[in-house]
């Protein structure tokens, strides 16, 4: 516990906040045009709200909550595909718990389970493979979801299934990759961002080299950050220091966990099992070229999309939902017209309210709804 406590030390946090204030003052930043920093990862969003990091910062710096929660960006059509597979009598459909509540156009996986489908929560793809061993007369499908962080574990499970000759196991692949997504954000005509906090756990796999284009071609700084409160504050200080000194570089605050070169074994498994899709649809962001992966032909027997017919329909989000604007930093969660009213963690309308890492859910859970109302009153006064 002591190791964790060191990264939550209030005295050290106050020192970092003072340094951030000093740098902002030196840059002459004010509240009229606050510096906008996007934390790409939903894990960072959770830390920021849980520990009140945003409330410690001066108004001249604004945190923008990015698209780094894979559950939140899963489009309705893919959820419908999951439900269609789960509704087959021969299938045991396995998934991580937070994906069970994501609403599709007809129902969620949780509702499908309530309707009698064999949907089971697992903690890893290896748990799903174990189910396949125990149930040789059933088809066990694992819902592969997540960025490069979870992509290797699914790939290694496919390779394990191949070694054992298991024929009743497959994955419904919805793995996505972070780099094209950041590029799409940088290409947005509405871009107002001044820098990025990079996802530390993705860098555990891919390292920091894939982000070099952000500094080289878009002239924006990034600091790869860890997930404790002091990690976030130190990373913000490092970003501001770059901006103050006129530098644009990719720096790694999370070097204690994320090596510069990434994880060679994980990257090899990913390259062996997957190839890039031509395009992939993101909830709230639309289709982004080469932002998802699919199972290679050599492992087609483990690809649920090839084994089972799915609707593969594109379903528009509810018109009242403004998850897309929140993901792009155009509005804050509390500025969405259904936030905290039609859309709550108990009855999520938008994807950002479903997962605990979603910006709206984190904002709601840690008191943001009251703060939003207070800020709305102050703006109207």
Examine the domain organization and report whether 98 and 193 are in the same domain: yes
Examine the domain organization and report whether 308 and 329 are in the same domain: no
Q: What band does 1 get if pLDDT is binned at 50, 70 and 90?
A: very low
Query: What is the three-class DSSP state of 344?
Result: coil
- Per-residue tokens: 296: 């290679």
Percent of the chain at pLDDT > 70 equals: 94
Q: Hey, how many other C-beta atoms are within 10 angstroms of the C-beta on 144?
A: 27
CATH number at residue 201: 3.40.50.11740
Nearest to 182 by CA among 359, 35, 352, 38: 38
Please report how many Cα atoms fall inside a 13 Å half-sphere around the Cα of residue 233, on the Cβ side: 27
Provide the domain count of the chain.
2
Residue that is last in its domain, among 318, 347, 370? 318
Place of tokens 């501001």: 240
Give the model confidence (pLDDT) of 19-76 as tens digits. Answer: 999 999 999 876 677 899 999 988 898 899 889 998 899 989 989 888 777 887 888 8
Residue that is last in its domain, among 318, 343, 370? 318
Range of the domain at 187: 1-318
Examine the domain organization and report whether 269 and 303 are in the same domain: yes
Examine the domain organization and report whether 246 and 330 are in the same domain: no
- pLDDT tops 50 at residue 114: yes
Examine the domain organization and report whether 301 and 329 are in the same domain: no
Examine the domain organization and report whether 155 and 95 are in the same domain: yes
- pLDDT tops 50 at residue 281: yes
Examine the domain organization and report whether 115 and 232 are in the same domain: yes
Please provide the average confidence, as pLDDT, over all residues in the chain.
89
Examine the domain organization and report whether 245 and 353 are in the same domain: no
Residue that is last in its domain, among 318, 343, 365? 318
Examine the domain organization and report whether 314 and 372 are in the same domain: no
pLDDT score of 67: 78
Lowest mean pLDDT among 2-11, 113-122, 139-148, 199-208: 2-11
113 versus 64: which is more confidently predicted? 113
DSSP for 155-222, written as a single string: HHHHHHHHHHT--SEEEEEEEB-HHHHHHHHHT-TT----EEEEEHHHHHHH-SGGGHHHHHHH---E
Examine the domain organization and report whether 228 and 362 are in the same domain: no
CA dihedral 218, 221, 225, 229 (to 10 degrees): -130
Q: What band does 190 get if pLDDT is binned at 50, 70 and 90?
A: confident
- Per-residue tokens: 298: 């050599």
Distance between CA atoms of residues 266 and 192, nearest Å: 34
Q: What band does 379 get if pLDDT is binned at 50, 70 and 90?
A: low
Examine the domain organization and report whether 311 and 330 are in the same domain: no
Give the model confidence (pLDDT) of 158-177 as tens digits. Answer: 999 999 999 999 999 999 99
pTM here? Answer: 0.87
Examine the domain organization and report whether 10 and 90 are in the same domain: yes
């Amino acid at each position: 516990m002591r190791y964790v406590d060191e990264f939550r030390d209030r005295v050290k946090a106050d020192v970092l906040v003072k340094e951030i204030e000093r740098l902002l003052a030196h840059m002459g930043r004010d509240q009229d045009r606050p510096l906008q920093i996007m934390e790409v990862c939903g894990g960072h969003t959770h830390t920021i709200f849980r520990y009140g990091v945003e409330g410690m910062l001066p108004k001249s710096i604004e945190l923008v909550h990015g698209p780094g929660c894979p559950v939140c960006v899963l489009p309705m059509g893919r959820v419908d595909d999951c439900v269609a597979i789960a509704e087959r009598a021969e299938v045991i459909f396995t998934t991580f718990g937070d994906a069970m509540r994501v609403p599709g156009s007809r129902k969620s996986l949780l509702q499908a389970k309530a309707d009698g489908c064999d949907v089971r929560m697992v903690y890893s793809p290896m748990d799903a493979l174990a189910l396949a061993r125990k149930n040789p007369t059933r088809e066990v499908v694992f819902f592969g979801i997540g960025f490069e962080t979870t992509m290797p574990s699914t790939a290694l499970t496919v390779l394990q299934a191949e070694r054992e000759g298991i024929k009743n196991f497959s994955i419904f692949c919805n793995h996505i990759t972070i780099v094209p997504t950041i590029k799409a954000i940088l290409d947005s005509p509405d871009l107002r961002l001044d820098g990025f906090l990079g996802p530390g756990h993705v860098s555990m796999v891919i390292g920091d080299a894939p982000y070099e284009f952000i500094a080289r071609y878009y002239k924006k700084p990034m600091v790869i950050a860890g997930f404790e409160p002091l990690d976030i504050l130190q990373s913000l200080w490092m970003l501001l220091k770059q901006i103050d000194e006129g530098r644009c570089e990719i720096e790694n605050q999370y070097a204690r966990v994320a090596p510069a070169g990434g994880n060679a074994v994980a990257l090899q498994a990913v390259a062996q099992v997957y190839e890039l899709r031509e395009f992939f649809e993101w909830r709230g962001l639309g289709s982004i070229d080469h932002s998802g992966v699919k199972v290679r032909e050599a492992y087609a027997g483990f690809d649920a999309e090839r084994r089972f017919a799915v609707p593969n329909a594109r379903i528009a989000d509810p018109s009242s939902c403004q998850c897309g604007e929140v993901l792009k930093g155009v509005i804050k969660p509390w500025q969405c017209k259904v936030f905290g009213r039609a859309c709550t963690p108990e009855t999520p309308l938008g994807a950002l309210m479903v997962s605990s890492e979603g910006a709206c859910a984190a904002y709601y859970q840690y008191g943001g709804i009251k703060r939003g109302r207070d800020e709305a009153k102050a703006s109207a006064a």
